[in-house]
Amino acid sequence: MKFTVLVNEGPYTHQASDTAFHFTKAALEKGHHVLRVFFYHDGVLNATALSVPPRDDRDVVKRWSTLAQQYQLDLVACIAAAERRGILDSEDAKRHGLEMDNLAPRFRISGLGQLVEAAIQADRVVVFGD
Amino acid sequence: MATKKKIMIVNRKAPHGTIYAFESLEMALITAAFDQDVTLAFLDDGVYQLVKNQDTRPIETKNFTRAYRALPDYEIEKIYVERESLNARGLTPADLAVAVEVLDADTLAQRIMQQDVVFSA
């Protein structure tokens, strides 16, 4: 089955990202196709490269990046939601005259159209959030 | 893109206090731009999103609620509001800025079941 996953909450504050991760990993391990994981609202905070959790806790951001590398998974953060929350890739940073960027590995930033497109193509869209 | 899906965006949160309503509206407008069969549903505190004459100047936030009146311009014409949520908050359709279809919870649940995709926040 082809899935599109939507993550609407940030890491640690809310379990949505954890549950979305476990769902996505399980789907991939079962041989399903995950077209895209899209991060919206505070979900874009899952894409920060500057998250440093304590050593005895899970690393939510790194876990997504690793899964993406393992399965060629497409992780996309909404550009409007990301920019207003301070998540920028190098191009965005340059465009806004900022010297720093902080997008975690294997994530990319794009528009909401990427969510709609993936929702149209998927057999199921699964939303994680309240 | 040839495929046209029935996509519903369910809005359950108050318009101010959190960003969900504003960003969900953006999602609705983009979805409509993809020429999809878009429906909006408002329930729980989400019904407050449609209340007319909102003024956000005292809290110094952007008054995005004016955009709800423009939904028909984006060919979003199916706007459902749950009757129980309106009643519980002492609201009537006359309090709302847009023309809506008021549905009881059971009917709204059926309409949700008929969708291909349901986004919610």
Task: Sort out which chain B residues have CB atoms less than 8 A from A6's CB and list them.
Answer: 119
Say how many C-beta atoms besides its own lie within 10 A of residue B110's C-beta.
10
Query: Could A127 and B23 be called an inter-chain contact, meaning their C-beta atoms sit closer than 8 Å?
Result: no
Question: Which residues are CB-neighbours of A84 under 8 A, at least 6 positions away?
Answer: none
Q: Which of A40, A116, A121, A126 to mutate to test the interface with B (most CBs of B within 10 A)?
A: A116
Mean pLDDT, to the nearest integer, of A11-37?
98
Domain CATH for A115? 3.40.1260.10
Mean per-residue pLDDT over chain B, rounded: 96
The pLDDT value given to residue B113: 98
Percent pLDDT > 90 in chain B is 98
Task: Name every chain A residue with its beta carbon within 8 A of the beta carbon of B119.
Answer: 6, 119, 125, 127
The domain total for chain B is 1
Position A85 scores a pLDDT of 98
Is B10 within the bounds of a domain?
A: yes
**CA-based nearest residue to B46, from B80, B7, B74:** B80
Active site annotation includes A20? no
Residue B96 lies in a domain: yes
Q: How many CB pairs under 8 A join A and B?
A: 47
Q: Is residue B80 part of a domain?
A: yes
- Whether residues B121 and A130 touch (CB distance < 8 A) is answered with yes
A72-107 confidence digits (pLDDT tens): 999 999 999 999 999 999 999 999 999 999 999 999
pLDDT at B1 over 90: no
Q: Are B3 and A116 an interchain contact pair (Cβ–Cβ within 8 Å)?
A: no
Tell me the average pLDDT across A14-35. Answer: 98
CATH of the domain at B19: 3.40.1260.10
- Split into its structural domains, chain A has a count of 1
Within 8 A of B35 by CB-CB distance, chain A residues are none
Enclosing domain of residue B33: 6-120
Residue A53: Cβ within 10 Å count: 13
Task: With residue B85 as reference, give the H or E element that holds it.
Answer: helix B83-88
Is B1 a member of any domain? no
Place of tokens 């609202």: A41
Question: What is the pLDDT, as a whole number, of residue B3?
Answer: 84
Chain B CB contacts of A113 below 8 Å: 30, 33-34
Q: Cβ separation of A129 and B7 shorter than 8 Å?
A: no
Interface test with B, best of A6, A13, A83, A112 (most B CBs within 10 A): A112
Residue B26's pLDDT is 97
Q: Are A34 and A65 in contact (CB under 8 A)?
A: no
Q: Please give the residue range of the domain that contains residue A70.
A: 2-128
Query: 């199916």: which residue's tokens?
Result: B78
* For testing contact with chain A, the best of B19, B30, B120 (most A CBs within 10 A): B30
Burial code (b: 16+ CB inside 10 Å, e: under 16) for A24-43 equals bbebbeeeeebbbbbbbbbb
Tens of pLDDT along B42-97? 999 999 999 999 999 999 999 999 999 999 999 999 999 999 999 999 999 999 99
R_g (Cα) of chain A, nearest Å: 14
Q: Indicate the average pLDDT of chain A.
A: 98
